[in-house]
């Protein structure tokens, strides 16, 4: 049988009852939470293939689409949905990114997954997608309606499944995470992993965000981040990740951390190696000029400019 395009053959797994991880071909993980009345999609990927078609193979419930943060790998596919939720500080990045930008960044992350990190769970050679046929242009005349996402906002999916959004800046100024007591899971986007980039906010701010995750620990058993190259598909982050990230952020603020030079996975562009703080398995990239909240947030304008350039 000939392949169908755009593809709906995303690798996916139902790892808890009514709780799915949908993998955009090793690049980014999206999560589908299904209640008795509604379903929620957390993050939208690059817009490769037919994500909504894949979701409709699982559920026909009305969909609340929420985005953890502004990065193109999480937000580009949002343009394919009629309505989305995103924090106001990150909404300027909801743009109809060009195919060239999406395909380039898709390639960078795939490269990180396949060539820079062990990827024993990868089935990438078997994936049924073709960039030329599955990374289709986004229609600039059909922007999604954007709703604000705010700290403490609740989404009632029915049947007692209520998901709460929490504000956790650091990786981006408007980063959000989602607590789902029904599946006892916390979905943290890119605000926690073993290779944490938090240059968009002062380290003090990041530490507060990480402690916010810790403070909710009685309501979840497992943490899922937005890329399964830090864990297996459907498996949570391991238990050392959050406490070590907190400890490392504390060390940075106390000036007792260790810095190392690591390869830059953007080396498709010959970008130079980067300096990161390290502790056990955790790495944190931060701006040394932004340690304390009084040092100020990253300029949102700067990011808007960057994305406008990429869009061109």
In whole angstroms, the minimum distance from the beta carbon of 93 to Fe ion comes to 12
Note whether 23 binds Fe ion by CB under 5 A.
Answer: no
Stretch that binds Fe ion, among 73-81, 88-96, 210-218, 232-240 (CB under 5 A): 73-81
Q: Which of residues 142-201 bind Fe ion (CB under 5 A)?
A: 190
CB nearer Fe ion, residue 73 or residue 229: 73
Q: Which of residues 202-241 bind Fe ion (CB under 5 A)?
A: none
CB nearer Fe ion, residue 109 or residue 210: 109
CB nearer Fe ion, residue 38 or residue 80: 80
The residues, any chain, with a CB within 8 Å of residue 194's CB and separated by 6 or more, are 230, 241, 281, 282, 283
In whole angstroms, the minimum distance from the beta carbon of 73 to Fe ion comes to 4
Q: Tell me the number of residues near Fe ion by CB under 5 A.
A: 3
In whole angstroms, the minimum distance from the beta carbon of 28 to Fe ion comes to 6
CA 201 to chain centre: 17
Note whether 73 binds Fe ion by CB under 5 A.
Answer: yes
Query: What are the Cα distances from residue 127, in Å, to 10, 21, 24, 122, 183?
Result: 8, 16, 10, 10, 29
Separation CA 57–CA 40 (nearest Å): 15
206 neighbors 192 (Cβ within 8 angstroms): no
In whole angstroms, the minimum distance from the beta carbon of 257 to Fe ion comes to 24
The helix or strand, by DSSP H or E, that contains position 147, with its residue range, turns out to be strand 145-148
Instruction: Return the closest-CA partner of residue 67 out of 87, 47, 96, 46.
Output: 87
CB nearer Fe ion, residue 18 or residue 193: 193
Q: Mask 42-71, x = binds Fe ion (CB under 5 A)?
A: -----------------------------x
Number of neighbouring beta carbons within 10 Å of residue 120: 6
In whole angstroms, the minimum distance from the beta carbon of 189 to Fe ion comes to 7
CB nearer Fe ion, residue 19 or residue 71: 71
In whole angstroms, the minimum distance from the beta carbon of 290 to Fe ion comes to 20
In whole angstroms, the minimum distance from the beta carbon of 175 to Fe ion comes to 11
CB nearer Fe ion, residue 30 or residue 32: 30
Torsion angle of C-alpha atoms 78, 228, 193, 175, degrees rounded to 10: 10
62 neighbors 295 (Cβ within 8 angstroms): no
Q: Mask 95-114, x = binds Fe ion (CB under 5 A)?
A: --------------------
Cis, peptide link before residue 185, omega less than 30° from 0: no
CB nearer Fe ion, residue 5 or residue 114: 114
Rg of the chain's alpha carbons, rounded to an integer? Answer: 18
Separation CA 49–CA 146 (nearest Å): 22
Query: What are the Cα distances from residue 310, in Å, to 28, 105, 134, 199, 202?
Result: 20, 11, 20, 20, 25
CB nearer Fe ion, residue 179 or residue 188: 188
Separation CA 121–CA 119 (nearest Å): 5
In whole angstroms, the minimum distance from the beta carbon of 226 to Fe ion comes to 5
Residues that bind Fe ion (CB under 5 A): 71, 73, 190
């Amino acid at each position: 049988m000939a392949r169908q395009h755009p593809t709906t053959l995303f690798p996916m797994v139902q790892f808890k009852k009514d709780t799915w991880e949908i993998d955009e071909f090793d690049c980014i993980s999206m999560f589908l939470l299904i209640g008795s009345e509604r379903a929620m999609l957390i993050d939208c990927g690059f817009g490769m293939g037919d994500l909504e078609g894949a979701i409709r193979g699982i559920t026909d419930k009305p969909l609340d689409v929420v985005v953890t943060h502004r990065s193109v790998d999480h937000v580009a596919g949002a343009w394919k949905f009629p309505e989305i939720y995103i924090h106001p500080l990150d909404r300027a990045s909801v743009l109809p990114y060009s195919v060239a930008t999406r395909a380039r960044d898709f390639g960078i992350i795939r490269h990180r997954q396949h060539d820079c990190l062990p990827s024993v769970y990868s089935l990438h050679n078997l994936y049924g997608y073709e960039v030329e046929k599955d990374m289709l242009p986004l229609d600039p005349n059909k922007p999604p309606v954007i709703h604000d996402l705010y700290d403490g906002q609740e989404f009632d999916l029915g049947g007692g499944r209520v998901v709460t959004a929490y504000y956790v800046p650091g990786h981006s100024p408007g980063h959000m995470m989602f607590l789902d007591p029904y599946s006892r899971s916390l979905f943290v986007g890119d605000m926690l992993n073993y290779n944490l980039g938090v240059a968009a906010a002062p380290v003090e701010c990041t530490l507060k965000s990480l402690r916010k995750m810790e403070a909710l620990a009685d309501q979840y058993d497992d943490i899922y981040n937005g890329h399964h190259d830090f864990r297996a598909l459907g498996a949570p982050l391991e238990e050392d990740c959050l406490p070590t990230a907190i400890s490392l952020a504390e060390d940075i603020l106390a000036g007792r951390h260790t810095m190392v030079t690591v390869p830059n996975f953007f080396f498709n562009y010959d970008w130079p190696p980067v300096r990161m703080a390290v502790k056990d398995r955790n790495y944190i990239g931060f701006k040394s000029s932004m340690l304390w909240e009084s040092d100020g947030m990253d300029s949102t304008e700067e990011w808007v400019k960057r994305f406008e350039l990429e869009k061109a």
